[in-house]
Amino acid sequence: MAAEQDLQYTAEHEWLLVEGDVATVGITAYAADKLGDVVFVELPEAGSDVAAGRVVGEIESTKSVGELFAPVDGTVTEINDAVVDAPELVNSDPFGDGWLIKVRFSALPDGLLSYDQYTAVTGGTD
């Protein structure tokens, strides 16, 4: 996976690794820490159309239930079955093996944040 500085971020604490017209999406370490120990992940099916800003899944922890928002309009090309089977990957490796979905998109939305902008929002921590 790319370095955290090379990713783009949303205000909803998701990260995107853009490779051509496909974005790999996960939640940040900051979000995973705030959620606590993740115990269940529900993801959309591959082939599903998603819309930026709309809920596409859930991440349940011992503390709460968080929603996963689509950061782009597009079609889900792949989900991370490993995270469904072992939700703790979201906590242990949020920027690597803990990725959630891959989405083929036609355009990136306005408002994505750089690493520096995102860390400013979170108080200097990813």
Parse the chain into domains and list their residue ranges.
Answer: 4-121
State residue 125's pLDDT score: 59
Which tokens in the block code for residue 9?
A: 């971020």
The domain 4-121 having CATH identifier 2.40.50.100: the answer here is yes
Q: What is the pLDDT of residues 59-113, one digit of tens each?
A: 999 989 999 999 999 999 999 999 999 999 999 999 999 999 999 999 999 999 9
Q: Tell me the whole-structure pTM to 2 decimals.
A: 0.93
Is the distance from CB of 71 to CB of 14 less than 8 angstroms?
Answer: yes
Task: Round to whole Å and give the CA distance between 3 and 51.
Answer: 26
Q: Output phi, psi for 5, to 5 deg.
A: -70, -20
Summarize the chain as % helix, strand, coil (round to 5): 20, 35, 45
